[in-house]
Amino acid sequence: MSDSLKPEATIEDFKRLDLRVGKVIAVEDFPEAKKPAWLLSIDLGPLGVKRSSAQVKCYEREELEGRLVVCLCNLPPRQVGPHISEVLVLGGVEGEGAVRLLRPAPDCPPGTQIA
């Protein structure tokens, strides 16, 4: 990842993003992924359960199950190996490429919109 700023975005650009709180309800192995990843099932409240391929192998399965995460929900589905990734789980990328997941406040229910 580069340390330089990306092109300027407008508030309208930001408003188009559907960011929501999700709760990881299942974590599956994903041996077909090109880079080490988990296949997550995420409860998004009124949006239902969505799946995501997440390159977050720095977390053990037990650390992810039941965890609240921040998801970008309005990207088009993406084929990742034999699976469809329906949402993007957000995190900070560290120097070695490890992704540290963003964590919403513990009292936010699944599906809560993030503004």
For the entire predicted model, the pTM comes to 0.90
Cα–Cα distance measured from residue 37 to residue 27, given in angstroms and rounded to the nearest whole number: 10
Residue of 22, 28, 10 lying closest to 49 (CA atoms): 22
In CATH terms, the fold of domain 11-109 is OB fold (Dihydrolipoamide Acetyltransferase, E2P) (2.40.50)
The tens digit of pLDDT for each residue in 79-114 reads: 998 999 999 999 999 877 788 999 999 999 999 999
Q: How far apart are CA 79 and CA 40, in angstroms?
A: 14
Rounded distance between C-alpha atoms, residue 46 and residue 105, angstroms: 19
Residues 16-58 pLDDT 10s: 999 999 999 999 999 888 888 899 999 999 999 999 999 888 8
Residue 68, pLDDT > 90, answer yes
CA 70 vs. chain centroid, Å, equals 6
Determine how β-strand 68-72 pairs with β-strand 78-80.
Answer: unpaired
Put residue 42 in one of left, alpha, beta given phi > 0 → left and psi -120 to 50 → alpha.
beta
Identify how many contiguous H helices and E strands the chain contains and give both numbers. Answer: 2, 10
> What are the residue ranges spanned by the domains of the chain?
11-109
Q: Cα 48 to the chain's mean position, in Å?
A: 15
What local confidence, expressed as pLDDT, does residue 98 receive?
A: 82
